[in-house]
Structure 1
Amino acid sequence: MTHTHTERPSRATGNGPAPGKGASGSDNDEAPLGASRAELLSALAQQHGALVTLLLVAIGASIGFDTFLTGDNLENMAVSSAFLAIVALGMTFVIITGGIDLSVGSLFALGGVLGAWGSQYGTLVALLLPLAVCGLIGLVNGLLIAKARLAPFIVTLAAMLAARGILLAITDEGANTYLVDEKSFFAGLGQEKLLGVGVPVWITVALFVAGAVTLRRSRFGQYVYAVGGNEDAAALMGAPVARTKIAVYTLSGLCAGLAGALNAAWLVSGVTILGTGMELEAIAAVVIGGTLLTGGFGFISGSLVGVLLLKVIQNVINQIGSLDSAYQQVVSGAFLAVVVIAQTWLGRRRRMM
């Protein structure tokens, strides 16, 4: 069969016709063909179901609300989606390896405060400081998970609390808010436009292209899938399991820190209360986009679609006006539950073929 995967072929789980079946002239030609078609449809649903849902929701919103397709509304959605998308990009690598990172919300907030504080010393400091600190925390997460073999949930939960504590210490428990000079180049990274589109959106697109190429074309990307598919088998094949885990958690920390810094440039301040619950949003976006929580299967473009779907739903709820913002979480949770159930069902069906 021909795979139509965006980033990689699907994980080897018994896909395709069984050996010796479907040979030309055999009486069993039709059965493997039907199984292949059903398997292909299941794979397409798993890969592109979120995209179809996004298009349907967007079409419905454009029909129901005159302001949905306006330039200002689309621009606001795109820019606000960019920060979550960058966090979700790093989370995608982590989840494909079979891990989880609960620290990204706190790292996002910490990166924003560090970026705003560092902006007084120039754009280079404003960008490098959050990358260095958040990347270091991600590195420590990876070392504890890969070398000490601690559970990712516990390690990243501890990192989440530690990062929030560092944030409170820097800001005197939230009493100090660091501002960014609106005329600085750093502020321009968050507020300026290029070809009518906000700079954060272009940065996000560039990062996703680089992430997709890395996951599909590089040896590191193959290691990421191998570790998530079967860690013991990956080690037997010579894949650097520990190094791969350390790399993906470091990458997740870097993405969270960069997203926080860009958000500070957009808001021209380091807001201390941001990032709460962002780790759950990022996980939801990645899973809605088709990446399996069990690891070994996923793709970058799906995570971007998942982010956009969540943001469009939030925008629609805001457009309605009469609904409380809490409904955003209710709808997002419902979508996540449906997607996980669908993924489980599709995965079982493909293994039976």
Structure 2
Amino acid sequence: MTIGTTEAERRPAPVRQEPEKADAPTRAERFSALAQQHGALVTLVVAMVAASLSFDTFLTGDNLENMALSSAFLAVVALGMTFVIVTGGIDLSVGSLFALGGVLAAWGSQYGTAVALLLPLAVCGLIGVVNGLLIARSGLAPFIVTLAAMLGARGILLAITDEGSKTYLVDKDSFFATLGQGSLLGIGVPIWITVALFVLGAVVLRLTRFGQYVYAVGGNEDAAALMGAPVARTKITVYALSGLCAGLAGALNAAWLVSGVTILGSGMELEAISAVVIGGTLLSGGFGFVSGSLVGVLLLKVIQNVINQIGSLDSAYQQVVSGAFLAVVVVAQTWLGRRRRVL
């Protein structure tokens, strides 16, 4: 023993511990993330394989083209809805805006293609801006604001069409009609437009500063504001975008049908929300991607087509199956989200 050594000096020096490093994602975490992001795509592939094995007419060119065309209009609406839901909002007005856009486009087609396209975009986009202003500046609930807009847009539609008794027709030989009924490389023009819009939407949401603001507002609005994100402007923009998409979808649908049908759009807002949620976007906001919404639309249309192929089932079963499927997806998303937080 060394003379003059204290008890503390004789104790072994404690082992210095390095600060803990963040562990790499576990296999379970990676599986949960992949299931949330690509579960709808896997389900779509399985459903299409099963349908093709069960029905000889499912994979025919005519059937696939009809499914793609009918999906195109809902997909454009769902694109705008994706931005809204990622911010944690909801837009119940898109169904009425879709119908209003179609009627305005059919009426404006007599003055040329430019009017047929710009008029519904201007009116529906303006209604979207008003929705965004009331939600962002006045602090009103998105559900109430967009519900009021849904009723108001439907009222404008009825006023334009004399309570629905007047139907505006589109000249079949006009360029505007070509946007709905024409084809390029054997694929309908509305499908090309939809694909282009989704590519643009994916770039905007994932690769631009505005897209970062959208995710930030949906993830935590207060934190986004503290970081300097323009919360109010972002909300106004996404609702304006939703209105523009609904109006454009209605215009393309009018060009496809060569008429402005007043009874369309009823329940479309629920279909769009279902497609977005099925595609992996969280209703609580902060997580989602436009490609998933496109997959969700296609999956809903495949389910509807399979029910039509069966023939013995009433069309009401489409809504039953779609509702049940949506419930399963929401439960699965909730479970996966909790599992990722626990892990």
Q: Which residue of 1 aligns with 2:214?
A: 224
Q: CA offset at residue 21 of structure 1?
A: 4.1
Give the counterpart letter for 2:306 in structure 1.
V
The separation in 2 between residues aligned to 1:313 and 1:352, in whole angstroms, is 34
Q: CA offset at residue 158 of structure 1?
A: 0.1
Q: Which residue of 1 aligns with 2:81?
A: 91
Is 1:310 the equivalent of 2:300?
yes
Q: Which residue of 1 aligns with 2:16?
A: none
Q: Deviations over 1:289-334 (max 9, x none)?
A: 0000000000110000000000000000001111000000001001
The separation in 2 between residues aligned to 1:173 and 1:239, in whole angstroms, is 44
Is 1:259 the equivalent of 2:249?
yes
Q: Which residue of 1 aligns with 2:105?
A: 115
Q: Which residue of 2 aligns with 1:143?
A: 133
Give the counterpart letter for 1:286 in structure 2.
V
The separation in 1 between residues aligned to 2:28 and 2:64, in whole angstroms, is 37
Matches within 5 A, 1:26-175: 32=23, 36-175=26-165
Give the counterpart letter for 1:87 in structure 2.
V
Matches within 5 A, 1:183-222: 183-222=173-212
The separation in 2 between residues aligned to 1:211 and 1:258, in whole angstroms, is 14
Q: Which residue of 2 aligns with 1:242?
A: 232
The separation in 2 between residues aligned to 1:194 and 1:170, in whole angstroms, is 34
Q: CA offset at residue 36 of structure 1?
A: 2.0
Give the counterpart letter for 1:164 in structure 2.
R
The separation in 1 between residues aligned to 2:264 and 2:241, in whole angstroms, is 21
Structure 1: stretches of 5+ with no match in the other structure: 1-18, 23-31
The separation in 2 between residues aligned to 1:132 and 1:21, in whole angstroms, is 53
Q: Which residue of 1 aligns with 2:15?
A: none
Correspondent of 1:275 among 258, 261, 265: 265
Q: Deviations over 1:261-306 (max 9, x none)?
A: 0000000000000000000000000000000000000011000000
- The TM-score, its normalising length taken from structure 1, stands at 0.91
Give the counterpart letter for 1:93 in structure 2.
F
Give the counterpart letter for 2:305 in structure 1.
N
Identity of aligned residues (%): 85
Q: Which residue of 2 aligns with 1:333?
A: 323
The separation in 1 between residues aligned to 2:47 and 2:92, in whole angstroms, is 29
Give the counterpart letter for 2:262 in structure 1.
T
Q: Which residue of 1 aligns with 2:338?
A: 348
- The TM-score, its normalising length taken from structure 2, stands at 0.94
Give the counterpart letter for 2:308 in structure 1.
N
Give the counterpart letter for 2:230 in structure 1.
P
Matches within 5 A, 1:171-182: 171-182=161-172
The separation in 1 between residues aligned to 2:20 and 2:188, in whole angstroms, is 55
The separation in 2 between residues aligned to 1:21 and 1:131, in whole angstroms, is 51
The separation in 1 between residues aligned to 2:75 and 2:158, in whole angstroms, is 25
Matched residues, number: 325
Q: Deviations over 1:50-80 (max 9, x none)?
A: 0010001100110111110111100000011
RMSD across aligned positions (CA): 0.8
Structure 2: stretches of 5+ with no match in the other structure: 1-18
Q: CA offset at residue 38 of structure 1?
A: 1.1
Give the counterpart letter for 2:233 in structure 1.
R
Q: Deviations over 1:212-266 (max 9, x none)?
A: 0000100000000000000000000000000000000000000000000000000
Q: Which residue of 1 aligns with 2:275?
A: 285
Q: CA offset at residue 37 of structure 1?
A: 1.6
Q: Which residue of 2 aligns with 1:20?
A: 20
Q: Which residue of 2 aligns with 1:301?
A: 291
Give the counterpart letter for 1:168 in structure 2.
L
Q: Deviations over 1:97-135 (max 9, x none)?
A: 000000000000000000000000000000000000000
Q: Which residue of 1 aligns with 2:10?
A: none
